[in-house]
Amino acid sequence: MNRNKTNNALSAGALKQAVRESFIKLNPAVMIKNPVMFVVEAGTLIVLLMIVFPRLFQSQATMGFNIAVFFILLFTLLFANFAEAIAEGRGKAQASSLKKSKQDMSANKLVGEAVTVVSSTELRKGDVVIVSQGEMIPGDGEVIAGLASVDESAITGESAPVIKEAGGDFSSVTGGTRVVSDQIKVRMTSEPGQSFIDRMIALVEGAKRQKTPNEIALSTLLISLTIIFLIVVVTLAPIASYLGIELEIPILIALLVCLIPTTIGGLLSAIGIAGMDRVTQFNVLAMSGKAVEAAGDINTMILDKTGTITFGNRMASDLVPVAGSSIESLSEWAAISSLMDETPEGRSVLEWAKKQGMSYDAALAAGGEFVEFKAETRMSGMDLADGRRVRKGAVDAVRKWVAAQGGDIPPDLEQISNTIATLGGTPLAVAVDNRMFGVIYLKDTVKPGMKERFDQLREMGIKTIMCTGDNPLTAATIAREAGVDDFIAEAKPEDKIAVIRREQAEGKMVAMTGDGTNDAPALAQADVGLAMNSGTIAAKEAANMVDLDSDPSKIIEVVAIGKQLLMTRGALTTFSIANDIAKYFAIIPAMFMLAIPEMGVLNIMNLGSPLSAILSALIFNAIIIPLLIPLAIKGVAYKPMSGSKLLSRNVFIYGLGGVIVPFVGIKLIDFAVHLWI
CB atoms within 10 A of CB 512: 28
Residue 310 counted as an annotated binding residue: no
Residue 435 counted as an annotated binding residue: no
Name all contacts of 9-18 with Cβ < 8 Å and 24+ positions apart.
9/89, 9/90, 9/93, 9/94, 10/86, 10/90, 14/86, 14/89, 14/90, 14/93, 15/86, 17/85, 17/89, 18/82, 18/85, 18/86, 18/89
Rounded to the nearest 5 degrees, what angle is found at the Cα of 631, between the Cα atoms of 625 and 635? 140
How many Cα neighbours within 13 Å face the side chain of 503? 24
Residue 377 counted as an annotated binding residue: yes
How far apart, in whole angstroms, are the C-alpha atoms of residue 328 and residue 358?
A: 7
Residue 374 counted as an annotated binding residue: yes
For residue 333, which amino acid is it? W
Q: Distance between the two ends of the chain, CA-based, in angstroms? A: 53
Burial of 565 (0-12, 13-18, 19+ CB in 10 A): buried
How far apart, in whole angstroms, are the C-alpha atoms of residue 593 and residue 588?
A: 8
Residue 375 counted as an annotated binding residue: yes
State the Rg of the chain over Cα. Answer: 34
Q: How many residues make up the chain in this entry?
A: 677
Q: Of 482, 443, 453, nearest to 309 (Cα)?
A: 482
Residues paired with residue 382 on neighbouring β-strands, in sequence order: 370, 390
How many Cα neighbours within 13 Å face the side chain of 253? 25
Residue 591 counted as an annotated binding residue: no
Rounded to the nearest 5 degrees, what angle is found at the Cα of 484, between the Cα atoms of 490 and 645? 150
Residue 583 counted as an annotated binding residue: no
How far is C-alpha 84 from the geometric centre of its chain's CA atoms?
20
How far apart, in whole angstroms, are the C-alpha atoms of residue 238 and residue 246?
A: 9
Catalytic residue among 304, 470, 549, 551: 304
Phi-psi region of 164 (alpha: psi -120 to 50; beta: other; left: phi over 0): beta
Residue 25 counted as an annotated binding residue: no
Could you confirm whether 169 is annotated as catalytic? no
How far apart, in whole angstroms, are the C-alpha atoms of residue 272 and residue 562?
A: 11
Residue 182 counted as an annotated binding residue: no
Q: Of 355, 348, 349, 356, nearest to 333 (Cα)?
A: 349
How far apart, in whole angstroms, are the C-alpha atoms of residue 501 and residue 613?
A: 58
Residue 620 counted as an annotated binding residue: no
DSSP string spanning 204-219?
HHTTT----HHHHHHH
Residue 392 counted as an annotated binding residue: yes
Burial of 340 (0-12, 13-18, 19+ CB in 10 A): middle
Q: Are 170 and 162 in contact (CB under 8 A)?
A: yes
b or e along 265-275 (b: 16 or more beta carbons within 10 Å of the residue's beta carbon)?
A: bbbbbbbbbbb
Binding residues: 341, 345, 373-380, 392, 515, 519
Residues that are catalytic = 304
Binding residues for ATP: 341, 345, 373-380, 392
